[in-house]
Chain A
Amino acid sequence: MNELDVVRGIGVDTPDPDEATTSAARARLLAAIRGEATTGGPAVTDMTVDLDARRKARQARRRRLLPAGAAIAAVLATALVAQLLLHDPTPVTREQDSDTRVAGDVLASAEPAAVKVLTTAAAAAARAPEPAFGPGRYWYVRERGTRVGGNDDQFRTPKSFYFRTSYDNETWWAPDGKLRGCEAARPSAARGSSAPPIGTPGLPTAVPSSPGRGCTPPTRVPARPWQAAAASASPSAQPRRRRCRVGRC
């Protein structure tokens, strides 16, 4: 089919505009032609003015709606994050480090009574005043206890044996993490290779440490750690075994 026949067919089906509309459109067209002939460029007609006004109105409406849209998006994002945090906590996976996994397991299996005790202790610690600790001051710790030792050079051989040692430590911690300490210790129950393991009846498991201070703090801080080590190893040292350490850990 010829395109012109198609256009003519559409024209037949479409009613003609009335005379007034046709005259007004013709007048605007002629005015536009005259304007272009005068200025050498597109004339500013009612139609172009109308288009410009519509474009500016759209831009203004977009500018007005932009902050509102951003605010709505922020509210929706906040609500989504809150839902995720409240209802979908990050699961403890096997890829995480062992400490995290152990902590998660412990918390998951903790008894309510233990949780209550720990919570109470944490609250008490939070209420406790901070000690006046800073430069020129030291955190003094005295501890008594027992530990298991052995002949490490025969570890996992038939000649290996283990013994329990009591100790009495005094440690002065500096704010920078350095420390000096004194330890008085003595073996309590040495075992031969054929002896039963520690803890069997009939053998003492520990000898209590002597009462009083574990050791006397030096009158000054040695400049070099090996000086303290040499002093503690000399025969003229204290009658019982004494070990002083500087810069341990």
Chain B
Amino acid sequence: MPRRTVLIFDPATARLLGSRSVLAAEVPGVRLPPGTVMEETAFVEMSVVDSPTTRPSSGG
């Protein structure tokens, strides 16, 4: 389905805060109107860690 995705950055730090994807056009046979939010994401934490089992707050 056609989507329009917007990435949201913190203008002061350029940190990626989140994203939002909306249905960009009417799709025949699909009962979702254009503008429906298809996906919203908030990036709550991003960091470099030492292993794929480590979280930043646990000593990564």
Contact = CB atoms under 8 A, between A and B. Distances in A.
B50 A139 contact: no
B32 A144 contact: no
B25 interface: no
Nearest to B57: A213
A37 interface: no
B38 A148 contact: yes
Contacts of B32: 148, 162, 197-198
Contact of A145 (B12, B28, B39, B48): B39
Nearest to A174: B52
List the 8 closest A-B pairs by CB distance, nearest first: A156-B29, A125-B14, A145-B41, A172-B52, A147-B39, A142-B45, A124-B14, A121-B14
Contacts of A217: 52-55
B56 interface: yes
Nearest to B12: A124
Nearest to B35: A199
A148 B23 CA distance: 10
Given A197-B36, A221-B52, A142 B44 contact: yes
A79 B30 CA distance: 57
Contacts of B29: 155-157, 160
Nearest to A119: B11
Size bin of chain B's contact surface: 35 or more
B30 A138 contact: no
22 contacts: A121-B11, A121-B14, A124-B11, A124-B13, A125-B14, A128-B13, A131-B48, A138-B48, A138-B49, A139-B46, A140-B48, A140-B55, A141-B45, A142-B46, A145-B40, A147-B38, A148-B39, A197-B32, A198-B32, A199-B37, A217-B52, A221-B52
Nearest to B28: A156
Nearest to A199: B36
Nearest to A147: B39
A106 to B, nearest CB: 11
Interface in A158-173: 160, 162, 170, 172
A117 B18 CA distance: 16
